[in-house]
Amino acid sequence: MYSNNGTYYNEEHSISFIKMDFAQRTYQTVANTWTDWHLIPASKPVVAPPSVQIKMVEIPGSDMQLDLTDYLTGKPQYGLRSGSFSFFVDNSDPYTNPEAIRSAIMTTIHGKKMQMILRDDPDFYYNGRFTVGNFEPGESRSRVTINYQLDPYIMSIYYAQYEYTLSSNTRNITLYAYDYMYRPVMVYESGASVTGTFGGITRTVNTSNRSMQLGLSSEGANTLTLTGTGKVLIYHEEGHL
């Protein structure tokens, strides 16, 4: 199998679309761009940086502007990573049919929210929504575009794990973040129910909702509050921009 510049291609720079199981801390590979679809990247996949939510206010009678970007949180807030990947389908490949490949990609990822791992960066995953863009047929090869809108932070597939048991009480746990950010994942183990609050997000786990993600950390000291009766596992998902 050869790439668009005539060099041999065999899965390098491929992308895996996955579904994370936050309760079991594992993931299932839904599809790989090469293994399942024989897609050849037009160029090395590089994810776009997140947008910055800049807030500038004009001051009447002045040439100056008031920068309120950091006003509420003390740091910039980020938007989604938006962009696309372009792939070729080798029409001479006996194992591929361009129309069948397009249909398979549409069925698997179009409009769906899932996670993505780049083969060039296998220790981290991106979370977001994917759509299938233009499909351009050609004589020797066809081109397909996969669009993405991803969360600003790249999350590690590795994690730290802690266990807490509560008996109708409240427990405050101080967590620190400096060179990275993290998002606790709360997993129900036993008991009635436990409610957790972190990063402005409150979630409850019990026999019906066994796993819930909480909010993102801020730089410095952060407080995780647990209330209720039961035993929970807290996984710390670390990430960065």
Q: Provide the pLDDT for residue 108.
A: 97
Question: Given a cut of 80, is residue 96 above it in pLDDT?
Answer: no
47-75 CB burial, b ≥16 within 10 A, e <16: beebeeeeeeeeeeeeeeeeeeeeeeeee
Count the Cβ atoms, other than its own, within 10 Å of residue 33. 23
- Identify the band that residue 24 occupies on the pLDDT scale cut at 50, 70 and 90: low
Question: Given a cut of 70, is residue 43 above it in pLDDT?
Answer: yes
Residue 127 DSSP symbol: E
Instruction: Name the least confident of 17-21, 142-146, 230-234.
Output: 17-21
Contact 113, 18 (CB under 8 A): no
- Identify the band that residue 31 occupies on the pLDDT scale cut at 50, 70 and 90: very high
Question: Given a cut of 80, is residue 49 above it in pLDDT?
Answer: yes
Which whole number is the average pLDDT over 76-81? Answer: 91
Q: Architecture of domain 15-152 in CATH?
A: Beta Barrel (2.40)
Going by C-alpha positions, the residue among 129, 148, 131, 121 that lies closest to residue 49 is 148
Share of residues in the chain with pLDDT > 70 (%): 95
Q: Provide the pLDDT for residue 2.
A: 47
Which whole number is the average pLDDT over 123-144? Answer: 92
Residue 8 DSSP symbol: B
More confident residue, 63 or 129: 129
Contact 217, 238 (CB under 8 A): no
Question: Given a cut of 50, is residue 85 above it in pLDDT?
Answer: yes
Q: Provide the pLDDT for residue 137.
A: 87
Question: Given a cut of 60, is residue 6 above it in pLDDT?
Answer: no
- Identify the band that residue 127 occupies on the pLDDT scale cut at 50, 70 and 90: very high
Domains of the chain by residue range:
15-152, 158-240
**Fold classified for 158-240:** Jelly Rolls (2.60.120)
Question: Given a cut of 80, is residue 234 above it in pLDDT?
Answer: yes
Q: Provide the pLDDT for residue 140.
A: 86
Question: Given a cut of 60, is residue 41 above it in pLDDT?
Answer: yes
Query: How confident is the prediction for the chain on average, in pLDDT?
Result: 89
Q: Provide the pLDDT for residue 8.
A: 63
- pTM, two decimals, is 0.84
Q: Provide the pLDDT for residue 176.
A: 87
- Identify the band that residue 23 occupies on the pLDDT scale cut at 50, 70 and 90: low
